[in-house]
Structure 1
Amino acid sequence: MSTGPFPLGPHRIVFANEKGGTGKSTTAVHVAVALAYQGARVATIDLDSRQRTMHRYFENRAETMRRRAISLPTATFEVYGGDNAEELDALTARLAEAHDFLIFDTPGRDDPLARHVATRADTLVTPLNDSFVDFDLIGQVDAETFKVRRLSFYAELIWEARKKRAMTTITEQRREMDWVVVRNRTGFTEARNQKRIDQALTELSKRVGFRVASGLSERVIYRELFPSGLTLLDKGHLGELGTSHLVARQELRTLVGGLNLPKVNPELHLDAPSSTRTALESAA
């Protein structure tokens, strides 16, 4: 029985692909904090027990709050280093009892547990850099025409999972899976190549049913924020922000809006005036 605002239990968001270097963990952290700012109770599980990027980010955030004696919206954070799906499910079930969203960050490689959680996601987020090297993860294109020739193994896996999920949506009262391909680092792609990727993504999205959302550009600010655990949403704690930082914050807002996640408190959103946000947060 759900104790939160969602009758079917917490909404599961899985950040997954089988390639590293796409900004997956950075995107996951910023989405988690954005949800926390909206009043949601968020728990994160890092499945990459070697790098632990998301877990370390929230550890740094907790240390910054302690050191500065401040309170910031944040998430419960766990790391799972085992290889047993049943143990992972038990951890997930425990966290589900007290949270509205569960966010999983997975390794940038083929991993059985990453597949396990990906096929059970309510929202599956696949960040891709704007290159055909990354596109190859979900589909292979013709070298001459750049038309999609066939799906990759990963796309076929998610396609089959979504079909099975659709069959149980009514009988088991499960949500439909929403697969979102997030395009990161688009601002630094050569125009002709970007157009070809646009066309290939549009073609493939129609075949396998994912949506495409704008992601985060390549910016130094994201790497600079990691040691403190702060995010672009932590206004008042970042010092003086330049124009590029303000643009990056708007990119993040666009990304969160594009994921179409359920709202815990519709009145408390990222663009609310600070006075309204303070009043709502105090009442929460």
Structure 2
Amino acid sequence: MAHIIVVGNEKGGSGKSTTSMHIATALVRMGHRVGGLDLDLRQQSFGRYVENRLGYLNRAGLDLPSPEFRQLPEIAQEALAPGENIHDRRLSEAVAGMEATVDFILIDCPGSHTRLSQVAHSLADTLITPLNDSFVDFDLLAKVDAESNKILGPSVYSEMVWNARQLRARAGLQPIDWVVVRNRLGAQNMINKKKMGEALDVLSKRIGFRTAPGFSERVIFRELFPRGLTLLDLKDIGVGGLNLSNVAARQELRDLIKALNLPGVTVDF
């Protein structure tokens, strides 16, 4: 059975698609078979990233390791059982079509609450929630008192993860390993960074996640998307003598993959 990685939260702009593509490509480069699904049926940022990659590699005559991306299958209404949700069926068939031939299935969720996202969270063996390092995004996880910064309770997203955990428990499945990834860490605003770290540490014990370092804000990520490339591809396309920023970003990716502690994965890049 494939290990299912779900990348999700309910806010846009947190770096979900960049995180998804870099994790998927890193795993393929390490010799693992990876399938990819994008549940944002409107924007398809992850799907576009893979599409850009295949187009660029074809034009450049290159053969670089890439995840196997699939669209959700179309399902005829008459093929549904009475009361069956069409989105549930589309996702289950997509997963079933890949799980016997890949080691990992990476599912990128939309930045909003949808039925597809809800079901995907219940399938997650590993749930990755990218979070910009600010209290604006912290609100995704918990309600906070404006005066004291005291945590008042979980957010609707945290409650959705809790419900997904309950569904898995009733089905006899392993618990979700929930990893909150801190993206866009600020090098200058150390006070905010420290407060965020403390708040996440307190909250992690209450609602059951662990934290991992993510990606800093770097121009390189905006430059890579149109060609579908990742940090690990730069040397292969003739970009030698990487600058310090790119070297640091590559180290961030290495640290993230290690922190995820995925089964059978030994970081060797």
Give the TM-score normalised by structure 1. 0.85
Are the aligned partners of 1:34 and 1:270 in contact in 2 as well (CA < 8 Å)? no
Q: Distance in 1 between matches of 2:203 and 2:11?
A: 19
Once the two structures are TM-superposed, the CA of residue 42 in structure 1 deviates from its matched residue by 0.4
Deviates further, 155-164 or 13-22: 155-164
Alpha carbons of structure 1 residues 123 and 152: separation in structure 2 relative to 1, 3 Å: same
Residue number among 115, 128, 134 corresponding to 1:112 in the alignment: 115
| Identity value in percent | 48
CA RMSD, 1 decimal: 1.7
Are the aligned partners of 1:64 and 1:228 in contact in 2 as well (CA < 8 Å)? yes
- Determine the structure 1 residue equivalent to 2:87: 84
- Determine the structure 1 residue equivalent to 2:182: 183
Q: Which runs of 5+ in 2 are unaligned?
A: 75-85
SS of corresponding position for 1:187: coil
1:10 aligns with 2:2: yes
- Determine the structure 1 residue equivalent to 2:50: 58
- Determine the structure 1 residue equivalent to 2:151: 148
Once the two structures are TM-superposed, the CA of residue 188 in structure 1 deviates from its matched residue by 4.8
Q: Distance in 2 between matches of 1:81 and 1:200?
A: 41
Once the two structures are TM-superposed, the CA of residue 142 in structure 1 deviates from its matched residue by 1.5
Q: Distance in 1 between matches of 2:188 and 2:121?
A: 28
Are the aligned partners of 1:130 and 1:189 in contact in 2 as well (CA < 8 Å)? no
Deviations along 1:67-117, whole A, 9 cap, x unmatched? 222211111112338752112201110111211110111111111110110
Q: Distance in 2 between matches of 1:71 and 1:50?
A: 29
Are the aligned partners of 2:122 and 2:167 in contact in 1 as well (CA < 8 Å)? no
Alpha carbons of structure 1 residues 49 and 163: separation in structure 2 relative to 1, 3 Å: closer
Once the two structures are TM-superposed, the CA of residue 66 in structure 1 deviates from its matched residue by 1.4
1:127 aligns with 2:130: yes
Are the aligned partners of 1:14 and 1:103 in contact in 2 as well (CA < 8 Å)? yes
Deviates further, 212-221 or 63-72: 63-72
- Determine the structure 2 residue equivalent to 1:245: 246
The runs of 4+ residues in structure 1 deviating greater than 4 Å are none
Q: Distance in 2 between matches of 1:188 and 1:80?
A: 40
- Determine the structure 2 residue equivalent to 1:270: 268
Deviations along 1:193-229, whole A, 9 cap, x unmatched? 2222111111110011101000011111011001111
SS of corresponding position for 2:186: helix
- Determine the structure 2 residue equivalent to 1:48: 40
Instruction: Tell me how many residue pairs correspond in the alignment.
Output: 256
Q: Distance in 2 between matches of 1:184 and 1:93?
A: 32
Deviations along 1:227-256, whole A, 9 cap, x unmatched? 111110112315132110000000011011
- Determine the structure 1 residue equivalent to 2:82: none
Q: Distance in 2 between matches of 1:191 and 1:247?
A: 19
Give the TM-score normalised by structure 2. 0.90
1:36 aligns with 2:63: no
Q: Distance in 2 between matches of 1:52 and 1:164?
A: 27
